[in-house]
Amino acid sequence: MASLPHSKTVTYEEWLRMPEVQDAIEEVVNGEIRIAAAPPWIHGRILDDLGFAMGSQVDRHEVKVVHAKFDLIIRRAPLTARVPDLAVFQASTIVVRDGHVHSAPQLIAEVFLPADTPRERAEKLADYASLGVPEVWALWPEDRTVEVLYLEDGQYRRQARLTDGVLRPKYFPNVEVRISEIWSE
């Protein structure tokens, strides 16, 4: 993920006045704007399959499965806004201000590719932990593995590393996702 060529950081208020970035992913980390190219095809296909598998099992009025690009505000100062790959919310917990989500989803799924550096992955997970996201699924297409991470004492702890079987979100116990469906081609 590339940073803009200047060293100035932006505030929440400045960021709100900026034009929306098209055809790329924009995140802000500690006030620094980071731009990434659109992800590869496999990334989107995995998220479509996962989103469909989860969304078809929930009441869409009570649970929102979102895999469209949206800004999740981690904190306003210094501004940190992430774009999760897929987020699952109890609808009643969603807080939207200024057109951006300011509340933690109950589950985030992130597709990690070889281009994602260990530092970028660690920063993203630390941000989700600071917001209080209780569960993260880290999807690794290279080896068709899913890590299930639970937030405990402010840090994520691996609960499972799976290559097959069924995923059951902690806060959505009636949802089941076969791991083989995620990697279907």
| N-to-C CA span, the chain | 27
CA–CA gap between residue 107 and residue 84 (Å, rounded): 10
pLDDT at position 89 is 98
Residue among 55, 1, 42 at smallest CA distance from 24: 1
Q: What is the mean pLDDT of each run of 10 residues along the chain (185 residues)?
A: 62 94 91 91 93 95 94 97 97 97 98 92 97 98 96 97 96 95 82
- pLDDT tens figures, 19-64: 988 888 999 999 999 998 888 999 999 999 999 999 999 999 999 9
pLDDT at 3: 47
Q: What is the CA radius of gyration of the chain?
A: 16
Give the per-residue pLDDT at 22: 85
**Around Cβ 89, how many Cβ atoms within 10 Å?**
20
pLDDT of residue 8: 83
Report d(CA 84, CA 121) in Å as an integer.
12
Domains of the chain: 39-69+82-182 (3.90.1570.10)
Quote the pLDDT of residue 4: 47
